[in-house]
């Protein structure tokens, strides 16, 4: 996957902006110049989703009624394609792929970026939800059927919560027993993905930052049928589900203990970056090379580590689009730099 160019209109502070995108690009510029917005537009063009907001209408420029973004890109098989996405304030969206009206799902089947921003430090320091979302993404790379399993599971939780609210014990028991094989399938896939991630992070940290060994682990064990039974009384009392993959406590430990409480800001940043490099490695193992969008690279990181991470980025086969407002990130080879001045 390679994005060759973007055209951006009425998107946040960018009223009329176009840019040719090489294989590796560093966008520099002052705070508020629109660097993140360019990556955000690229992520919407690749996945239909913003990594900054859940309400895509936020992206429409203050005094406009709609935004329009377009890109020319080469898909996974190297074919040259165009995609455009428009949104208006009433929530109407229009996605065109090669001029044909398309859905967000067809966008996702075609292209999906790997994104890193400092917010991803929350995968290490935030609530388990951030780690579940990350591991779920890895599960999906490994096995596209995971998406259907998770959709089915979320439907189960919804139905179960309704039955719990109505105090319908028999229905809850029936739903629970029917869901056990599904829960076990999700559990196994999540455990397998944790192992894969651990393996890749292991070799990345060996090379880049041997102090940082990160291990993901899930809390759901093989006794889920018993656990569901044990929780039943409390669930009926509360009126909602208290156990299952949607509440899985995925922990990250390092060699010095629980990562959340024991590592520094810089280490958290490096850790989150290694996690995303591991995601790219897992894709590469499947001969997939999504665009890597890295926002505000190398905050909280010393010069030696910047160099190491930069070498790693240069060696990637993926297209990499990065942003930085830090002045001293400029002496790297093969890196085209675009200065966004506003
Ligand atoms: N809907 C919007 N309309 C107009 N300006 C916006 C909108 N949303 C955000 N902005 C502004 O766009 C500017 C650029 O933001 P951003 O891309 O995050 O800059 P950078 O990453 O370079 O610091 C910010 O000053 C922000 O206030
Ligand atoms: Mg920014």
The closest residue, in CA terms, to atom 13 on ligand 1 is: 32
Atom of ligand 1 at shortest distance to CA of 38?
A: 17
33 lines ligand 1 (CB under 6 A): yes
Going from the Cα of 11 to the center of ligand 1, the distance in angstroms, rounded, reads: 9
User: Does the beta carbon of 251 lie inside 6 Å of ligand 1?
Assistant: no
In this structure, are strands 24-29 and 93-97 parallel, antiparallel, or unpaired?
Answer: unpaired
Residue 329 is predicted with a pLDDT of 65
Residues of the chain with pLDDT under 70: 108-111, 328-333, 342
- Structure confidence by residue, pLDDT tens digits, 132-162: 999 999 999 999 899 999 999 999 999 999 9
Domain annotation for the chain: domains and CATH numbers: 2-113+290-340 (3.40.50.300), 122-261 (1.20.1050.90)
Ligand 1 atom nearest to 59, measured from its CA: 1
Q: Looking at the CA of 28, name the nearest ligand.
A: 1
Question: Is the shortest distance between the CB of 49 and ligand 1 below 6 Å?
Answer: no
Looking at ligand 1, which residue's alpha carbon is closest to its atom 11?
13
Probe ligand 1: pick from 26, 37, 41, 58, max atoms within 8 Å of CB?
37
Q: How remote is the CA of residue 34 from the centroid of ligand 2, in Å? A: 7
**C-beta of 12 in contact with ligand 1 (< 6 A):** yes
Neighbours of ion ligand 2 (CB under 5 A): 35-36
Assess whether the C-beta atom of 339 lies below 6 angstroms from ligand 1: no
Q: Give the number of the atom of ligand 1 that is nearest the alpha carbon of residue 30.
A: 22
pLDDT score, position 166: 96
Question: What is the 230 CA–ligand 2 centroid distance (Å)?
Answer: 47
Confidence (pLDDT) at 48 = 84
Per-residue confidence (pLDDT) for residue 330, from 0 to 100: 61
Q: Report the separation in Å between the CA atom of 85 and the middle of ligand 1, taken as the mean of its atom positions.
A: 19
Quick one: pLDDT at residue 160?
A: 98
Q: Which two tokens stand for residue 322?
A: 């990065």
Q: Residue 225: its pLDDT value, please?
A: 94
């Amino acid at each position: 996957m390679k994005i060759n160019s973007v055209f951006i209109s009425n998107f946040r502070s960018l009223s009329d902006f176009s840019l040719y995108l090489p294989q590796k690009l560093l966008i520099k510029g002052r705070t508020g110049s629109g660097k993140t917005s360019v990556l955000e537009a690229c992520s919407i063009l690749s996945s239909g989703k913003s990594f900054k907001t859940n309400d895509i209408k936020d992206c429409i420029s203050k005094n406009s009624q709609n935004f329009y973004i377009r890109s020319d890109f080469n898909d996974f098989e190297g074919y040259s394609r165009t995609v455009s996405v428009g949104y208006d304030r009433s929530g109407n969206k229009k996605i065109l792929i090669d001029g044909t009206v398309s859905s967000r799902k067809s966008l996702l089947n075609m292209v999906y970026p790997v994104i890193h921003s400092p917010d991803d430090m929350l995968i290490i320091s935030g609530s388990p939800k951030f780690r579940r979302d990350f591991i779920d993404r890895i599960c999906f790379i490994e096995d596209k059927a995971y998406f259907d399993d998770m959709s089915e599971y979320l439907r189960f939780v919804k139905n179960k919560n309704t039955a719990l609210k109505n105090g319908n014990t028999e229905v809850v028991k029936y739903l629970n027993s029917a869901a056990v094989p599904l829960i076990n399938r999700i559990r196994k896939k999540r455990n397998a993905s944790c192992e894969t991630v651990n393996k890749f992070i292991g070799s990345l940290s060996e090379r880049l930052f041997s102090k940082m060994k990160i291990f993901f682990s899930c809390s759901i064990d093989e006794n889920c049928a018993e656990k569901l039974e044990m929780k039943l009384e409390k669930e009926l009392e509360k009126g909602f589900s208290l156990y299952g993959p949607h509440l899985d406590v995925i922990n990250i430990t390092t060699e010095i203990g629980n990562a959340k409480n024991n590592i520094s800001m810089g280490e958290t940043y490096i850790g989150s970056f290694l996690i995303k490099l591991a995601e790219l490695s897992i894709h590469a193992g499947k001969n997939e090379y999504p665009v890597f969008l890295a926002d505000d690279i190398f905050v909280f990181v010393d010069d030696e580590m910047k160099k190491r991470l930069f070498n790693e980025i240069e060696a990637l086969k993926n297209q990499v689009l990065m942003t930085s407002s830090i002045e001293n990130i400029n002496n790297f080879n093969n890196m085209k730099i675009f200065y966004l001045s506003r």
